[in-house]
Structure 1
Amino acid sequence: MKTITLTIPEELLMDVKIPRQRWQADLKRELALQLYRENMISFANAHRLAEMSKVEFHYLLGEREIPRQYDMEDYEKDLENLTKWSSQS
């Protein structure tokens, strides 16, 4: 997996009302939310970036009043999964 490093001057982070030990996790979550809100990232990638389960991220979207984007690709994946799961029963 390729990664990127974002350098943020510590003095800027000192103004952020987040405890130091949560900087990385909270900033990743906020980035995931914003990218998802702007339709720049899928739900699957957003919850992974935020390092949250699908359910946790879904609830976070609700708390922030961010509408869930659900397109044809999402529908087709859900339909494929439902078909697969029903055939296993």
Structure 2
Amino acid sequence: MSSIDIPSDVLDAMAAPPEDREPIVRQELAVSLYREGYLSFGKARELAGLSKAAFHRLLGDRKIQRHYKEADLALDVAYGQD
């Protein structure tokens, strides 16, 4: 598993409690990558650490249009079988 190194001074600069900072970064990254089409819904949800319903709500709150295609379905089905 790869990881992204976020400088501690960047995390410390976030106006959020320390225990919320990593989840916020993961969710923001997941939403952005999904919105731009770099990640499927399933992978973005996984990155965000949210359930399907919670990630749908997050995208809805942000008014982000879903772009689920047949290819995404195939990837999600294949991933679910692993």
TM-score, length of structure 1 as denominator length: 0.73
User: CA separation in 2, counterparts of 1:26 and 1:56?
Assistant: 14
Provide the alpha-carbon RMSD of the alignment.
Answer: 2.0
Q: What do the CA deviations read for 1:59-81 (whole angstroms, capped 9, x no partner)?
A: 1001011111121234678xx9x
Bigger drift between 41-50 and 16-25 goes to 16-25
Superposition misfits of 4+ residues, deviation over 3 angstroms? 74-77
Which residue identity lines up with residue 44 of structure 1 in the other structure?
Answer: G
- Structure 1 window deviating more from structure 2 (7-16 vs 55-64): it is 7-16
Identity within the alignment, %:
37
- Gaps in structure 1 of 5+ consecutive residues: 81-89
Letter in 2 for 1:4: S
Which residue pairs with 2:80 in the alignment? none
Equivalent in the alignment of 2:36? 38
Asked which structure has the greater CA Rg, the reply is 1
Letter aligned with residue 19 of structure 1: P
Q: Which ranges in structure 2 are unaligned for 5 or more consecutive residues? A: 78-82
Report the CA distance between 1:14 and its aligned residue: 2.2
1:8-55 CA distances to partner (integer Å, 9 max, x unpaired)?
222222222221111111111111101101100000111111111111
- Larger relative contact order (C-alpha < 8 A, sep ≥ 6)? 2
Secondary structure, counterpart of 1:14 in structure 2: helix
